[in-house]
Structure 1
Amino acid sequence: MFLFVGMTITSCLKSDLEELPAFSDAEITNFRFEYRWIDSSQDNNRLQVVQLDTETTIDTDNQKVTCTIAVPDANGDFPEEIRTQVSLAEIVGYADISTAATLAPSNGAPALGEIGDFSNSNMSYEVTAADGTKVVWSLTISGFNK
């Protein structure tokens, strides 16, 4: 048994592996937003989420993302009293970026995936490609419709 284990550990291929190129794209391909709240109307407090309708325009030549956000109409799962509370100051943003890239907020922009204030007119995000290429993208919210 020790011989088998010793052979399997040492039999890994360690040379002659093809070098794959690192991705060089550092792009944002989409932006979307949601609103979260705790529903305390039931016995157990539950996190509720509603997707905000987002129209996104991406200018790859100038690294600019422009979004128009619309709050959906109230319904059984999204009551009017919660809908009236939705504002740019307390929403969650998400971005789709290039394969193997990373994204970091800059210039005081809110972190993505967390509740943040998107009412700032000068937000930007730095996207770093797998090969180290860095591109700063600006984000503008051009409209917020309720």
Structure 2
Amino acid sequence: MKKILYICSVLLLALTSCVSSGLDELPVYNEAEITNFNLEHRFLVTNANGVQHMEVVTLGATVNIDAATATITATPTIPAPTSTFTQNERRNVSLEKIVAYTKLSPAAKIVPLEGASAFGAPGDFTKERRYMVTAADGKTSKIWTIKVNPLPIINEYEGTYKESGTLIRGAGPADILTGEIYLSSVNTNTLLAQAGTSVFNNPAILYQIKVNADNTVTIMSEPTASVVITPQAGVPSTYNPATKTFDLHYQYTTSALRKFDTQLVLK
């Protein structure tokens, strides 16, 4: 029995030596970089059976990573609403309770500093945050500063509207305006809209809708648009907060005058 154990031990030692001799030495990385940065909003959704589950929405963001100065600047955007990520939930997105996650150099580690939250956990990014990244060699480290710019405004009017109305082009017959249109926020009382979506479907034909304190509406041209849209003279545009309805009257001229008389009702 002892002889068998001895032979097995010799074989095991020989096998271990063979395996060890065939392995290349693994490199020890000295990079302490952050190579990617993202933000996500987490919220609970209750299904038809009353059971709650976690939903995760990744925010869009323009991210600038400057390795030379160890700074990251992110400008986030909020995705469009869905069946679960509703318009009301979009308004709950806050930098005070946002989840950040990142990608590091191979085998590097990251540690939050000065009250910053750990990556993957909800944290407050309303102010600059600092993190220390330590390379795989355990010696090289770098302190990174992360700045997240404010979230875009989602005002009380933003949302998807059902459109009905008419478009008159010169002396021709009226086109019927139908379908849905999404009004996005410009500021607290102004929206960006696309004109004649069901007829032209041209994303460059844009205008702004400003809701005044008395619920009258000012139609304004959008600086980036391909045409200059103005209100129709003598026909006021209005907003009804009880029914969440816009009655809009505007126009623009290309080869002929185009006059829009349309109603937008929030879905």
Alignment TM-score > 0.5, same fold: yes
Judge which range, 33-42 or 95-104, deviates more. Answer: 33-42
Contact 1:127–1:135, Cα closer than 8 Å, also in 2: yes
Greater relative contact order structure (CA < 8 Å, 6+ sep): 1
Contact 1:107–1:122, Cα closer than 8 Å, also in 2: no
Matches within 5 A, 1:29-40: 29-40=35-46
The answer for the alignment partner of 2:120 in structure 1 is: 113
Which one of 58, 68, 79 corresponds to residue 72 of structure 1? 79
Q: Which amino acid aligns with 1:47?
A: M
1: CA distance, partners of 2:8 / 2:43:
53
Structure 2 unmatched ranges of 5 or more: 154-267
Judge which range, 17-26 or 28-37, deviates more. Answer: 17-26
Q: Which amino acid aligns with 1:28?
A: I
Structure 1 unmatched ranges of 5 or more: none
2:63 is the counterpart of 1:59? no
Q: Cα 1:123–1:6, aligned 2, differ >3 Å: closer, same or farther?
A: same
Q: Cα 1:128–1:8, aligned 2, differ >3 Å: closer, same or farther?
A: farther
Instruction: State percent identity of aligned pairs.
Output: 35
Count of matched residue pairs: 144
Contact 2:65–2:71, Cα closer than 8 Å, also in 1: yes
2:47 is the counterpart of 1:24? no
Task: Tell me by how many angstroms 1:81 deviates.
Answer: 1.6
Scaled by the length of structure 2, what TM-score is found? 0.50
RMSD: 2.1
For 1:81, what is the secondary structure of its paired residue? helix
Matches within 5 A, 1:1-146: 6=9, 9-10=12-13, 11-13=15-17, 16=21, 18-43=24-49, 44-119=51-126, 121-132=127-138, 133-146=140-153
The answer for the alignment partner of 2:161 in structure 1 is: none
For 1:145, what is the secondary structure of its paired residue? coil
Task: Tell me by how many angstroms 1:25 deviates.
Answer: 0.4
2: CA distance, partners of 1:56 / 1:137:
14
For 1:143, what is the secondary structure of its paired residue? coil
For 1:65, what is the secondary structure of its paired residue? strand
Task: Tell me by how many angstroms 1:18 deviates.
Answer: 4.1
Deviations 1:61-84 (A, max 9, x none): 110000011111212231112111
Scaled by the length of structure 1, what TM-score is found? 0.87
2: CA distance, partners of 1:39 / 1:6:
59
